[in-house]
């Protein structure tokens, strides 16, 4: 038995070594990602990223007047018809100015009435003077003076009328300003963003942050950035598919709408304050054909467009 | 002298020298030596007379410078080396002065070595060796290691090793030199009774004159020659007919 | 006859033991050093191999390893996606930043930003927690070594936090990825979270991970992507090999090779010398065997068997010791990836056997030259 001790021990050591070595060999088995990235269903593909937008594109509603907002008349996601008031600005100063102008109008009208009375009075006097001219009670000279006085007062009436017109125009102008302080929807659309609240100051002019963003959400459009190197491979009207980020199984067929005729620098949508210019892209607009997906304007999608030809060395 | 069927070993005119020119040493200077079947031949002589060289030549371990060696009609010197080794394996047995037992093996295993070398399976070989040891009176020691045995016992194991494969020629080199008189006598007794067989020749190299009486023939050697061949005194120990001491050629 | 040889070997206990010990120690030394070398090299490729869901890596043309980050333009991802035969492609962002634990420990960390949408490249094996928990904002999973650096001696658990650039990154799990060569903590987080820490450079993509579609050969896809220009695509194994070559050609591995060679030479020398001594001391018994008719062929087989037994026993014991030591070392979080490639395990044994074979041949030559007649003297 003793002669087998050494081989048995050695076999044990070898077994232990074998098990250890085998057990510690790094294993690399191929696995699937948690949610696999989208895969193209076409043989030749141009891959791109698209941004969902309203079919009307996005309308940033601005204000013609600067002022404090007193009232917001719509809510987020509300559908509005053209002409629906969206919000109102503070008009107290304009109302006060309107009161002044209206008083001035009243005064002008009064002055016009006074002048009118004077004309009538002089008319009357002139008629009587003419009747009495044969007598010598009233001299010729007096008649002539009366006639001139009438002319002056007639001119005063015209002046007063003009004053009334000016006062009326002023009041109307203020009323227009008041009307402009209520901002109306320019078209039928949905409120996509509401960045203005009562009490906030709305500045007139172009702004990077729109006060209210309007757009028509049915149907949704997809603005697809296509790398300029790949642009030649994309034909209008070919099939395309957009995949929802986070679940590549959710996809919608896309219908070609149009190309933007002008190629622009691509922005990488990192959400970073300084966005880096990457390359130039051709923008193509596609319509999202599926409506049952929960998709939102401003969301990114992975897009595969059926391409013609295979890419060759471009650089 | 003509070789006949009864001739086991026939050496004619063997010369052997070592070295060349100034260092040349003539060890064998024309040896004629014959051993017949069934014969127990003693090769005796002083140290350095060439006994060891002669048996080395007979066993095919050394090449001759000239001369012929024939074992049972086979011209050994003309055999190619591998064949000679195989011839030695199956037809020759050896007993050495220093026993040359393997310390790692038991008596039976040591005795079985020639069988193992011939490719006999281990169990069978050891069984056969053990049976032989039993016949040689060492039945109780088959499992002992050489270091546990006395010199006489070791030499008996060596004797078993020389006999186990039933060779036709046994060469013994000073088998009793390392043993005391009584033990040597016993070993020679055993050798004479177990080894001698009508079809087998035994050559014993010795200068132990105390055991000369076991010899059938005594060949005396000196200075590279066989100087004298005389009949030995073994009468009782040779019960086999056909090995007559009258027919020996004289030098 | 072979059995006789083995008995002779066994009988000479001192030399038998000496040879086994020499072989054992040499094999142990070689395997141990080889394991460290192999592990070190594999660490340089560990992050590449740990990405199990991709089989292609696309980088800028001059990137040689995982630690060389060259920002990629976002559009490149789309170009890779457009290659026919690519199942999918996802970005991977790698950022170095300085992190501070709740306890105030400061460390440079490697942030890996995993694509938010697909989570491609997420570690597959976790010690604590779920890997996909990083979908939450400002969360990360940390590797065991990183956990040890930030929270030394504490048991692995989720819920702690690390501050990076004044933002709190909540640790939601401990991954079981291979230890990185740099030794820096590896934090897996979402790409959007990682990008928030990426102040200096504006890039969002360091590597593009891609997967070949069923039926297309990754190597062929690499070729295709490479012809696009401006990109370099490699299979995971090619990239890993490049990374290992990149570090491997920097000299340190040479030192290990020297040690391994010394182990080989010393082990073989002691074993061979002892074996030759064993044969020479047994010259007389071997001569006796030759006299009784053992052929050279039988003796050669005997010697070969004796050598084989010594080498086999020694290799077994040496490998056992090496495995035991390796197992002990692996309990350290930073050395958790220590492993011995099985090819090297076998290779060391065969290398030693080959060199020792020279001594066996010398022994055989000696035996063949033995004068059998000497046994009569």
A56 φ, ψ (degrees, to nearest 5): -90, 5
Q: What b-and-e string marks burial along B200-229, b requiring 16 or more CB atoms within 10 Å of the CB? A: bbbbbbbbbeebbbbbbbbbbbeebbbeeb
Supply the pLDDT for residue A280: 82
The reported pTM is 0.73
**What separation in angstroms does the CA of A263 have from each of A228, A233, A281?**
8, 15, 6
| Element (DSSP H or E) covering residue B33 | strand B25-36
> What distance in Å separates the CA atoms of residue A224 and residue B172, rounded to the nearest whole number?
107
Q: What is the CA radius of gyration of chain C?
A: 29
- CB contact under 8 Å between A24 and C319, yes or no, is no
Asked if residue C335 belongs to a domain, the reply is yes
> What distance in Å separates the CA atoms of residue A206 and residue C103, rounded to the nearest whole number?
50
Q: Which residues pair with A48 in a beta bridge?
A: A303
Q: Which of C228, C312, C323 sits opposite A314 (nearest CB)?
A: C228
pLDDT band at A278 (very low <50, low <70, confident <90, very high): low
C252: pLDDT strictly greater than 70: yes
> What distance in Å separates the CA atoms of residue A57 and residue C261, rounded to the nearest whole number?
73
Residues C255 and C340 in one domain: yes
Residues C89 and C217 in one domain: yes
Residue-wise pLDDT tens digits, C225-235: 888 878 899 99
Residues C267 and C358 in one domain: yes
Residue-wise pLDDT tens digits, A74-121: 998 888 998 899 999 999 999 999 999 999 999 999 999 999 998 999
Residues C197 and C78 in one domain: yes
Supply the pLDDT for residue C230: 82
Nearest CA-CA partner of B160 in B106, B211, B95 = B95
Find out whether A109 and A164 touch, Cβ atoms under 8 Å: yes
| Element (DSSP H or E) covering residue B67 | strand B66-71
Measured between CA atoms, the residue of chain C closest to residue B164 is C292
Q: What is the mean pLDDT of chain C?
A: 89
Residues C37 and C170 in one domain: no
> What distance in Å separates the CA atoms of residue C3 and residue C298, rounded to the nearest whole number?
11
User: What's the angle, vertex CA B18, arms to CA B13 and CA B22, rounded to 5?
Assistant: 115
Residues C260 and C296 in one domain: yes
pLDDT band at A315 (very low <50, low <70, confident <90, very high): very low
Which carries the bigger pLDDT value, residue C322 or residue A141? Answer: C322
Q: For chain B (length 251 residues), average pLDDT per consecutive 10?
A: 71 88 87 90 88 89 87 85 89 90 92 92 93 90 92 92 92 88 89 86 88 89 88 59 40 32
Size of interface B-C (CB pairs under 8 A): 78
Measured between CA atoms, the residue of chain B closest to residue C370 is B61
- Which residues have CB under 8 Å from C59's CB, separation 6+? C70, C72, C207, C208, C231, C232, C233, C234, C239
Residues C338 and C372 in one domain: yes
Supply the pLDDT for residue A307: 82
Mean pLDDT, rounded, for C338-366: 92
Residues C8 and C134 in one domain: no
Q: Which of C4, C290, C376 sits opposite B116 (nearest CB)?
A: C4
Mean pLDDT, rounded, for A205-220: 83
C18: pLDDT strictly greater than 90: yes
Nearest CA-CA partner of C161 in C112, C203, C109, C200 = C109
Residues C181 and C143 in one domain: yes
> What distance in Å separates the CA atoms of residue C205 and residue C89, rounded to the nearest whole number?
12
Peptide bond into A219 cis (omega under 30): yes
A313: pLDDT strictly greater than 60: no
Q: What sections of chain B are H helices per DSSP?
A: 51-58, 81-91, 107-111, 113-117, 122-135, 151-163, 181-194
Asked if residue C240 belongs to a domain, the reply is no
Q: What is the CA radius of gyration of chain A?
A: 41
Instruction: Work out the number of other CB atoms within 10 angstroms of the CB of residue C269.
Output: 16
Nearest CA-CA partner of C193 in C134, C248, C255, C278 = C134
Residues C109 and C158 in one domain: yes
Residue-wise pLDDT tens digits, A222-258: 999 888 878 888 888 888 999 888 787 888 999 999 9
C3: pLDDT strictly greater than 70: yes
Using CB atoms and an 8 Å cut-off, which of residues 204-263 of chain A contact chain C?
Answer: 227, 229-230, 245-246, 248
Domains of chain B, each with CATH number or no CATH:
7-247 (3.40.50.300)
Supply the pLDDT for residue C375: 83
Nearest CA-CA partner of C47 in C121, C132, C97 = C121
Supply the pLDDT for residue A268: 56
Find out whether A61 and A131 touch, Cβ atoms under 8 Å: no
* A5, A7, A10, A272: best to mutate for the C interface, most C CBs within 10 A: A10
Mean pLDDT, rounded, for A217-224: 88
Hey, is the C-beta of A9 within 8 angstroms of any chain C C-beta?
yes
Supply the pLDDT for residue A276: 52
Instruction: Tally the domains of chain C.
Output: 2
> What distance in Å separates the CA atoms of residue A185 and residue A69, rounded to the nearest whole number?
16
Structure token digits, residue A109: 């009208």
Q: Which of B53, B94, B103 sits opposite C291 (nearest CB)?
A: B94
Find out whether B130 and B142 touch, Cβ atoms under 8 Å: yes
Q: Which of A11, A18, A49 sits opposite C78 (nearest CB)?
A: A49
Contacts A24 to C, Cβ<8 Å: 326-327, 330, 338-340
> What distance in Å separates the CA atoms of residue A289 and residue C270, rounded to the nearest whole number?
81
Find out whether C314 and C31 touch, Cβ atoms under 8 Å: no
Supply the pLDDT for residue B246: 41
- Which residues have CB under 8 Å from C261's CB, separation 6+? none
Hey, is the C-beta of C196 within 8 angstroms of any chain B C-beta?
no
Residues C208 and C267 in one domain: no
Mean pLDDT, rounded, for C52-71: 88
Q: Which residues pair with B225 in a beta bridge?
A: B222
| Closest chain A C-alpha to C110 CA, distance in angstroms | 21
**What separation in angstroms does the CA of A16 have from each of C30, C99, C292?**
18, 41, 44
* B113, B119, B166: best to mutate for the C interface, most C CBs within 10 A: B113
| Closest chain C C-alpha to B247 CA, distance in angstroms | 31
- Give the 3-state secondary structure percentages of chain B, helix then strand then coil, rounded to 5: 35, 25, 35
Measured between CA atoms, the residue of chain B closest to residue C5 is B104
Mean pLDDT, rounded, for C94-99: 88
Q: Which domain holds residue C100?
A: 73-230
Place of tokens 């996509």: A192
| Element (DSSP H or E) covering residue C43 | helix C13-44
- CB contact under 8 Å between C292 and B61, yes or no, is no
> What distance in Å separates the CA atoms of residue B27 and residue B224, rounded to the nearest whole number?
5
Structure token digits, residue C81: 């996606």
Q: Is B in contact with C (3 or more beta carbon pairs below 8 Å)?
A: yes
> Which of C230, C262, C294 is where one domain is finished?
C230
Residues C85 and C188 in one domain: yes
A161: pLDDT strictly greater than 50: yes
Q: Which of B53, B56, B117 sits opposite C294 (nearest CB)?
A: B117
Nearest CA-CA partner of B96 in B40, B148, B154, B47 = B154
Mean pLDDT, rounded, for C266-272: 93
Neighbouring chains to B with at least 3 Cβ pairs closer than 8 Å: C
> What distance in Å separates the CA atoms of residue B124 and residue B115, rounded to the nearest whole number?
9
Interface confidence, given as ipTM, is 0.86
Using CB atoms and an 8 Å cut-off, which of residues 262-281 of chain A contact chain C?
Answer: 266, 268, 270-272, 274, 276, 278-279
Mean pLDDT, rounded, for A45-70: 88
**What separation in angstroms does the CA of A140 have from each of A127, A129, A134, A136, A232?**
13, 9, 9, 9, 100
Q: Which residues pair with C101 in a beta bridge?
A: C162
Asked if residue C77 belongs to a domain, the reply is yes
Supply the pLDDT for residue C319: 94
Residue C306: CA count within 13 A, CB half-sphere:
33
Residue-wise pLDDT tens digits, C165-209: 888 899 999 998 888 888 889 999 998 888 888 766 567 888 999
Find out whether B8 and B36 touch, Cβ atoms under 8 Å: yes
> What distance in Å separates the CA atoms of residue B220 and residue A71, rounded to the nearest whole number?
148
| Element (DSSP H or E) covering residue C324 | helix C296-330
* B116, B166, B178, B205: best to mutate for the C interface, most C CBs within 10 A: B116
Q: Which of C75, C119, C340 sits opposite A21 (nearest CB)?
A: C340
């Amino acid at each position: 038995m003793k002669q087998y001790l050494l081989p048995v021990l050695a076999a044990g050591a070898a077994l232990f070594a074998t098990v250890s070595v085998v057990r510690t060999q790094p294993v690399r088995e191929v696995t699937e990602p948690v949610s696999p990235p989208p895969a193209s269903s076409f043989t030749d593909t141009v891959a791109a990223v698209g941004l969902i937008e309203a079919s009307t594109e996005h309308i940033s509603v601005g204000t013609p007047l600067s002022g404090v907002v007193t009232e917001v008349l719509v809510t987020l996601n509300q559908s509005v018809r053209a002409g629906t008031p969206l919000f109102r600005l503070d008009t107290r100063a304009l109302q006060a100015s309107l009161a002044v102008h209206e008083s001035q109008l009243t005064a002008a009208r009064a002055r016009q009435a006074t002048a009118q009375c004077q004309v009538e009075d002089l008319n009357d006097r002139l008629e009587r003077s003419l009747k009495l001219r044969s007598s010598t009670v009233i001299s010729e000279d007096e008649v002539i003076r009366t006639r001139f006085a009438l002319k002056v007062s007639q001119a005063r009436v015209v002046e007063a009328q003009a004053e009334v017109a000016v006062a009326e125009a002023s009041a109307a102008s203020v009323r227009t300003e008041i009307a402009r302080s209520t901002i109306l929807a320019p078209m039928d659309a949905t409120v996509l963003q509401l960045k203005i609240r009562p009490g906030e100051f709305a500045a007139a002019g172009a702004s990077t942050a729109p006060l209210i963003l309007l757009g028509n959400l049915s149907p949704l459009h997809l603005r697809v950035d296509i790398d300029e190197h790949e642009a030649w491979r994309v034909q209008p009207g070919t099939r395309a598919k957009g995949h929802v980020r986070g679940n590549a199984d959710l996809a919608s067929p896309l219908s070609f709408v149009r190309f933007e005729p002008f190629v622009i620098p691509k922005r990488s949508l990192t959400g970073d304050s300084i966005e880096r210019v990457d390359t130039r892209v051709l923008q193509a607009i596609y319509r999202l054909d599926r409506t049952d997906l929960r998709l939102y304007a401003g969301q990114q999608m992975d897009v595969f467009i059926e391409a013609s030809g295979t890419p060759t060395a471009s650089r | 002298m003509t070789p006949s069927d009864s001739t086991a070993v026939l050496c004619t005119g063997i010369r052997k020298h070592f070295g060349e020119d100034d260092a040349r040493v003539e060890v064998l200077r024309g040896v004629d030596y014959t051993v017949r079947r069934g014969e127990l031949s003693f090769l005796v002589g002083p140290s350095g007379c060439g006994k060891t060289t002669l048996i080395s030549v007979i066993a095919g371990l050394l090449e001759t410078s000239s001369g012929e060696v024939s074992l049972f009609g086979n011209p050994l010197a003309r055999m190619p080396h591998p064949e000679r080794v195989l011839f030695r394996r199956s037809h020759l047995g050896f007993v050495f002065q220093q026993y040359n037992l393997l310390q790692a093996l038991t008596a039976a295993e040591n005795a079985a070595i020639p069988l193992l070398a011939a490719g006999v399976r281990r169990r069978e070989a050891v069984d056969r060796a053990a049976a032989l040891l039993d016949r040689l009176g060492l039945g109780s020691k088959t499992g002992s290691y050489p270091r546990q045995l006395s010199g006489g016992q070791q030499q008996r194991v060596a004797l078993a090793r020389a006999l186990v494969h039933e060779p036709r020629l046994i060469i013994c080199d000073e088998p009793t030199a390392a043993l005391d008189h009584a033990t040597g006598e016993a070993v020679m007794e055993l050798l004479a009774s177990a080894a001698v067989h009508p079809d087998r020749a035994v050559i014993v190299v010795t200068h132990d004159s105390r055991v000369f009486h076991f010899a059938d023939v005594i060949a005396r050697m000196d200075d590279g020659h066989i100087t004298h061949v005389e009949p030995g005194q073994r009468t009782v120990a040779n019960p086999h007919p056909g090995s007559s001491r009258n027919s020996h050629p004289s030098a | 006859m072979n059995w006789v040889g083995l008995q002779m070997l066994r009988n000479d206990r001192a030399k038998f033991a000496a040879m086994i010990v020499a072989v054992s120690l040499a094999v142990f030394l070689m395997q141990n050093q080889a394991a460290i070398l192999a592990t070190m090299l594999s660490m340089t490729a560990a992050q590449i191999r740990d990405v199990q869901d991709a089989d292609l890596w696309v980088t800028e043309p001059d990137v040689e390893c995982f630690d060389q980050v060259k920002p990629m333009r976002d559009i490149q991802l789309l170009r890779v996606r457009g290659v026919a035969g690519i199942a999918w492609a996802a970005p991977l962002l790698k950022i170095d930043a300085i992190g501070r634990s709740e306890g105030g420990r400061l460390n440079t960390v490697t942030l890996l930003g995993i694509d938010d949408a697909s989570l491609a490249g997420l570690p597959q094996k976790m010690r604590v927690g779920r890997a996909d928990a990083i979908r939450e904002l400002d969360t990360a999973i940390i590797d065991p070594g990183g956990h040890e650096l930030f929270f030394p001696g504490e048991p692995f658990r989720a819920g702690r936090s690390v501050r990076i650039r004044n933002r709190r990154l909540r640790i939601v799990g401990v991954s079981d990825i291979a230890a990185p060569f740099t030794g820096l903590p590896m934090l897996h987080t979402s790409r959007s979270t990682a990008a928030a820490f990426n102040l200096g450079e504006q890039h969002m993509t360091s590597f593009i991970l891609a997967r070949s579609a069923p039926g297309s050969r990754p190597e062929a896809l690499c070729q295709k992507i490479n012809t696009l220009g401006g990109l370099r695509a490699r299979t995971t194994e090619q990239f890993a090999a490049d990374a290992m070559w990149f570090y491997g050609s920097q000299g340190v591995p040479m030192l290990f090779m020297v040690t391994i060679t010394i182990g080989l030479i010393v082990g073989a020398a002691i074993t061979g010398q002892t074996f030759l001594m064993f044969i020479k001391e047994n010259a007389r018994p071997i001569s006796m065997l030759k006299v009784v008719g053992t052929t050279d062929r039988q003796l050669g087989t005997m010697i070969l068997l004796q050598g084989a037994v010594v080498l086999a026993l020694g290799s077994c014991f040496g490998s056992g010791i090496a495995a035991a030591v390796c197992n002990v070392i692996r309990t350290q979080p930073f050395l958790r990836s220590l492993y011995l490639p099985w090819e090297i395990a076998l290779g060391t044994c065969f290398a030693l056997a080959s060199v020792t074979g020279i001594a066996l041949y010398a022994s055989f030559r000696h035996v063949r030259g033995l004068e059998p007649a000497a046994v009569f003297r």
